[in-house]
Amino acid sequence: MSGTTRTALVIWATAATVYLLAVLNRTSLGVAGLQATDRFDIGPAALGVFTVLQIGVYAAMQIPTGLLVDRFGPRRILTAAAVLIGLGQLLFALAPSYGIALAARGVLGLGDAMTFVSVLRLVAAYYPPRRYATVTAITAAMGTVGNLASTVPLTFALAHAGWVWTFAVTGGVTMAYAAIVAWRVRDTPEGAPVHRSTATNLSEVVDQVRWAWQTPGTRLGFWVHFSTMFAPAVLGLLWGFPYLVKAQGMSEAAAGGVLSLLVVMAGVTGPVIGEVTGRKPELRLPIVAAYIAISVGVWAVLLGWPGGVVPAPLVTVAFGFLAIGSPLSAVGFALARDYNPIVRVGTASGVVNVGGFFAITVTTLAIGLLLGGDADQADATAFRIAFLAIAVMLLFGAWRTGVWWRRARAAVLAADARGESVPVVIQRRSWDIRAHADSTSS
């Protein structure tokens, strides 16, 4: 391993560990839900607000985070993120009331929102485009490790050390890690030019976002992220467990086992997807299209099964397949990297990241509204109606992904015809003529 490669690996690993810690802290409430209801004297609806708040803050901060990363560099933003995450978790450990606990999770969510895009900016600076998809997928897999670390170890800690010590130590370790980030991480390789956005006033910041959004590759990345990520996240974060127990009649242990597939499958398939799409970028969108098409069929089976109670093996296979959408959503970031200059990659990645989390927020709220109150009382029919929200969002995302796939192809073909360098060489198809007309008229 060369010195340059080793340096890139150390810096990436240091930065990616912040993301691991962010996911650990983000999902830590998942094993403490029952204790939280007792500690703050709240019901299931109030408990669900913790999740919705964190997702909402995360989604709202993606574009601002991208702008901050492009302006100040990922090292500073990752350092600030670790401090905010740790501070939020410490406050959550000591919170005497529900309102303060909500504020604490909001602070944690703010720091969490600043991690992934910052790491991707470093990956773009230290690795060539061919390796970007693979390293991005491995970064996402680091989040899987954080998710797993928030289950058994934290459950053990809560049982033996108690609420305050468990969350205080987790937050303290995260906060202390900020010093390591500030010491080890560097925004660019030694001797390489430092690419920073010069946008300082509101008008220039708006232009930075507008240029990223108007790039067809960014817009396509947004809808790819929207379509592939939201369903497994909605199931894993909140609604999968009650669906399996209340609608499908599984035991809590069996439901937990099925949900673990969402984590395991994402972790196993992520690096494979990254390597394949990194080596052959022309396969990115066909793989995404195949996943979306099969997902539509999966949901048609789950929602259309007579009586609503689907055989357990079929549900298990369905959840395992849907889990692939989480690592596949990284294709959206690869598109942002390929079709934007390095000085705008952070902003474009932030725009892309909004897609999935916006879909998660809307779908999570819609399912809650359609269930009409207490999920504990819902049956298979109630969940079948509520989960129509997932099907609608999936179909909408599939439509928009198809539209922008054609428009992005038209932009690439036009650039290639002008003799410009293009990230992916594609062959013109009969439907590309129409796509070009659509893109020039929009």
Residue 399 lies in a domain: no
pLDDT confidence bin for 410, thresholds 50/70/90:
confident
Does 287 lie in the same domain as 360? yes
Does 361 lie in the same domain as 233? yes
User: Which CATH number do you get for residue 389?
Assistant: 1.20.1250.20
223-227, 358-362, 436-440 — most confident range: 223-227
Does 281 lie in the same domain as 171? no
Tally of structural domains, the chain: 2
For the cut 60, the answer to whether the pLDDT of residue 431 exceeds it is yes
Q: Name 118's Cβ contacts closer than 8 Å, sequence gap at least 6.
A: 15, 18, 65, 69, 74, 77, 78, 81, 346
State which residues form the domain around 181: 1-188
Computed over every residue of the chain, the mean pLDDT equals 85
Does 223 lie in the same domain as 184? no
Does 278 lie in the same domain as 171? no
Residue 162 lies in a domain: yes
Residue 401 lies in a domain: no
Does 278 lie in the same domain as 242? yes
Does 287 lie in the same domain as 179? no
**What average pLDDT does this structure show over 220-240?**
90
**What average pLDDT does this structure show over 278-290?**
90
pTM (whole model) above 0.75: yes
Residue 40 lies in a domain: yes
The predicted pLDDT at position 164 comes to 92
The predicted pLDDT at position 81 comes to 96
Does 253 lie in the same domain as 184? no
**What average pLDDT does this structure show over 278-293?**
91
Does 161 lie in the same domain as 60? yes
Does 230 lie in the same domain as 154? no
Residue 204 lies in a domain: no
Residue 251 lies in a domain: yes
Residue 122 lies in a domain: yes
Does 284 lie in the same domain as 142? no
The predicted pLDDT at position 374 comes to 58
**pLDDT tens-digit series, residues 134-163:** 888 888 888 877 877 776 787 788 888 888
Residue 4 lies in a domain: yes
Does 177 lie in the same domain as 248? no
